[in-house]
Amino acid sequence: MIIAAADGSALGNPGPAGWAWYVDDGCWAAGGWPHATNNQAELTAVLELFRATAHLDDEVHVLCDSQYVINAVTRWMAGWKRKGWRKADGKPVMNVELLQQLDAVLAGRRYRFEWVKGHVGHTLNEAADARARAVAEAYRRGATSVPSGPGWTYDGPPSVPIQVDEIVEWPGDVEPDVDEGPDGAFEVASDDDDDALFVLDEPAEPWHALTIELSTEEYERLLQRARSEGVSPEDFLRGLI
């Protein structure tokens, strides 16, 4: 499952506007216009997320703070389409071009939306909002270029490469003594009371790369723990080893 936040920002609404979707700091995209509405930015963020992942079969879990977007996609769009993209009162649906593009890009996709309250510290939502607002601010300043992000950068769970002194392999005929920790995590039992999983000798060269495969949910928890300690995810992991 892909977990991503999608958000839009319009300064003045309408005014300089930006959209963004965000998975993590290495996988996000943003864009915008000199003049647009907030709803247009919110719809475009979701549209661009599904375009960026069109080559994948994963279910997309969209975190969104716009109830208009969620209702438009999950409740209203099918009826609008049957009525020739008109509302119950016969008036044309607003933002119809964006909605038609969304209808096309969602065909055959597996997805679900989750409403999250904006501006309350939700990590992914705040990251998407910051990037969308940065684009809107850039257009307000008349900048010739805006932050666009790296786009979609991987086709699976994020891998976090870290450097360790040596690669330690558990003997094949010995089962590790593990205890179940908070949130179902498992920790290697230690005779010490410190947080180390095991003790390494003094650093030796050359360094060896250790790649850890994490699910998106696990990586999100790692980012939160690292930020709470004021360190990078890599440094946080090194502190556990």
Which strand (E) or helix (H) includes residue 81? helix 77-82
Q: Evaluate if residue 233 carries a pLDDT over 80.
A: no
Nearest to 19 by CA among 54, 43, 35, 53: 43
Q: Give the chain's mean pLDDT.
A: 80
Tens-place pLDDT, residues 115-135:
999 988 999 999 999 999 999
Q: Evaluate if residue 22 carries a pLDDT over 70.
A: yes
pLDDT of residue 235: 66
Tens-place pLDDT, residues 176-208:
333 333 343 333 333 344 443 333 344 444 445
pLDDT of residue 50: 98
The answer to whether the Cα torsion of 184, 228, 213, 62 is positive or negative is: positive
Contact criterion met (CB below 8 Å) for 105 and 45: no
Tens-place pLDDT, residues 142-177:
998 999 999 999 865 544 444 434 333 334 433 333
- Confidence tier at 29 by pLDDT (50, 70, 90): very high
DSSP H stretches of helix in 93-171: 96-106, 123-141
Which residue ranges make up each domain of the chain? Answer: 2-141, 159-240
pLDDT of residue 155: 67
Q: In 10 A of CB 239, how many CB atoms?
A: 12
pLDDT of residue 60: 97
Percent pLDDT > 70 in the chain is 67
pLDDT of residue 109: 97
pLDDT of residue 209: 53
Provide the token pair at 112.
């679900």
Question: Can you identify the CATH homologous superfamily of domain 2-141?
Answer: Ribonuclease H-like superfamily/Ribonuclease H (3.30.420.10)
Active site residues: 7-8, 42, 65, 119, 129
